[in-house]
Amino acid sequence: MTIDRLPDRVTTPRLVLRRWQHADADVLQQIVMANLDHLRPWMPWIKQEPLTIIERARLIEDWTREWEDGGDSFLGVFLDGEPIGSSGCHARVGPGAIEIGYWIDQDHLRSGYATEVTAALTSAAFDNERIGRVQVHTDEANDASAGVPAKLGFRRARVETREPAAPGESGRLIIWTVTRETWTPPAPPRPSEVDQVQGSPNESR
Ligand SMILES: CC(C)(COP(=O)(O)OP(=O)(O)OC[C@H]1O[C@@H](n2cnc3c(N)ncnc32)[C@H](O)[C@@H]1OP(=O)(O)O)[C@@H](O)C(=O)NCCC(=O)NCCS
């Protein structure tokens, strides 16, 4: 399925989400390498790591082409201009729908960043009138990941059984869904709360 132009740049109260670019190859390499053990249980693509820096740059070029052709968007999550994770909008869950994926750096967990990312991408997805449904898929063993759609009011629609794709997975995949009609974006934090946590919103490179 092709949806023209999935979100490629979104700002949130604390973060900038933008598509990874060729010039990010070094910083993406560093943050992936720093998080191999953190990500290995849950992210199937970790099996291909470590990539060389040249392979990482080619991967970003592939992502860029894919997005330009109307496919998925792969976005870095930037805090004060530094990457603290990655996210994606994937057009692989049927017509009029996207799936959102995410991971957050091990030194930035439990601060609401994945929730902020997912909320912002869900709202951005619904800005496209052709998208009426957003999904998040979490393995039943991955409580941290399930907390994100649960907190945002996604509905636990069903559980699908599949071969585990990463070592921590049970093979039971929870499909979380929200529709345009049922989506209620979380209230933005009051400015004083944002200041206390991070300072004002920042542009990344
Ligand atoms: C899953 C992940 C992205 C969550 O990122 P995060 O920024 O720490 O998540 P948030 O701070 O937004 O947490 C949202 C909610 O999820 C739940 N949650 C998050 N981490 C949790 C943990 N370690 N244990 C139990 N619940 C957790 C909580 O309900 C939390 O809300 P609360 O902090 O108000 O209680 C992060 O743990 C990660 O990168 N994990 C490895 C990669 C991965 O599993 N990606 C998802 C694949 S589907």
3-state secondary structure 181-201: CCCCCCCCCCHHHHHHHCCCC
Query: Pairing relation of β-strands 82-90 and 97-104?
Result: antiparallel
Q: Each residue of 144-160: pLDDT tens digit?
A: 999 999 999 999 999 99
Where the chain has pLDDT below 50, the residues are: 1, 199-205
68 CA from centroid of ligand 1 (Å): 30
Ligand 1 atom with the smallest distance to the CA of 138 is 48
104 CA from centroid of ligand 1 (Å): 8
**Which residues are registered as beta bridge partners of 10?**
17
The structural domains of the chain, with segments of one domain joined by +, span 9-134
* DSSP code, position 71: -
Of 51, 55, 66, 53, nearest to 19 (Cα)?
66
C-alpha dist (Å) from residue 166 to 23, 95, 162, 172: 29, 27, 11, 12
Look up the pTM and report it. Answer: 0.93
Q: Each residue of 30-52: pLDDT tens digit?
A: 999 999 999 999 999 999 999 99
Of 34, 85, 22, 29, nearest to 58 (Cα)?
22
Fold of 9-134: Aminopeptidase (3.40.630)
Q: Can you give the pLDDT at residue 137? A: 98
Give me the percent of the chain exceeding a pLDDT of 70. 90
Q: Whose CA is nearest to atom 41 of ligand 1?
A: 39
Q: Report whether 39 contacts 106 (CB < 8 A).
A: no
